[in-house]
Copies of this chain bind each other. A is one copy, B any other.
């Protein structure tokens, strides 16, 4: 073959292209700060020199403890452009957990935004990691102004690009190793499915530290869209940015969508044009989908894990659904869907690894493989082997496969409730509760019971000003579900959540709930 064919796939090429094609256009809106694409690329290039001057060589790990910001976008480019490995820290981790991630990854540098300096200093004290603080007047900014670029070209697209530690609802977080090729292809996939272009303005409600913001940290540059950073989740501020910055797209976990829908901002006129929303992390309830639709948001449900570069599946709209009523549409849209355009087809398999029938009833585990699946867990071959089912990655998500090929999660493996010998999906009970007009959201867990083994217990958040009793919840569920699925106890409270909006069911399970 001739020398002019084949280049390694690396997602930082998208910023390089943006500097060429959209150099004069806005790249980042971060508070009062505005950065164009040419400047963003030059800053990332200069930062390769800053990294080199701090001793970062190809293969070295660089940890980042940053809110959604231009710094995070710059690090997503500068670190791989230096040939180094990006290790984003979940900003809600305890200092103990951060210390673990820094030590486990062997990071020698920690880049931090000012909001998180206090934690970073504690981590540095305990690990000896070098700190690089960003912000006005910082060493980071003076480095950007003075450093000579020292990029190192990617010579193997299958090499390590980053380590994303799972938020880990239980136990020590595991380090998901992602590669250049997967991040590149996943970026293209998201561009295809989200239908964005250089006029798009994306609001960063999803944390960039979480699966690299579903690879959109790189993808948006590919078509010159504007990154609108959001340094902290505040629903009123989200509404303000949607209206003032002309947001066209955003992504958010269902719990964040619930916050947006419940906020005072929702009382204003709907955004015009409508906002395209991608949601994932947990299944959006049909009632939430209907509500978001009425507020001016077109919601698409995606499904994925840190191990799959974010969304590996998408709930693709089918032309024939156009004819259905809102409720039926929302039921179909709440499913996790089908593999995205670069993914292998998802499978749902039984314990023996055989595909379950596509009957929409038989529960199995979702398994995946392909270019958007991780290399494995960093320095943890045992954990990697545990999720490898004959060459397929075990997601741990229990689902049914519908006759139309769409996958629908019934529960995380550990969230299934076994009561009186029956397997009950907590999601099913939650949906029934959420369909009550007075309910904001709910979570159902199994609790030990002498007679039944486990019984379902519901934690319910009630809409502001509404009044709801446990008996009413029970009666409401009983109208649609079998008796053994009806919650035996109902607790009214706010729900504990992770930084990415996932409900922490292990916290709920540890709650003392007196029998009725």
Contacts and interface: CB of A to CB of B under 8 A. Distances in A.
Interface of A: 1-7, 9, 14, 16-17, 20-25, 158, 179, 181-182, 185, 188-189, 191-192, 195, 197-199, 222-224, 316-320, 338-339, 341-342, 344-345, 368-371, 373-376, 384, 388, 391-393, 404-405
B374 A2 contact: yes
A393 B6 CA distance: 12
A405 B21 contact: yes
B369 A5 contact: yes
A316 B192 CA distance: 16
A384 B3 CA distance: 10
B374 A5 contact: yes
A425 to B, nearest CB: 24
Contact of A5 (B23, B318, B373): B373
Contacts of A158: 1, 6
Nearest to A16: B345
Contacts of A23: 404-405
Nearest to A394: B4
Contacts of A370: 4-7
Contact of A376 (B1, B317, B342, B368): B1
Nearest to A369: B4
Contact of A21 (B21, B195, B316, B373): B316
Contacts of A223: 192, 341
B195 A195 contact: yes
A26 to B, nearest CB: 9
B198 A316 contact: yes
Contacts of A9: 371
A351 B210 CA distance: 49
A3 B374 CA distance: 10
B191 A341 contact: yes
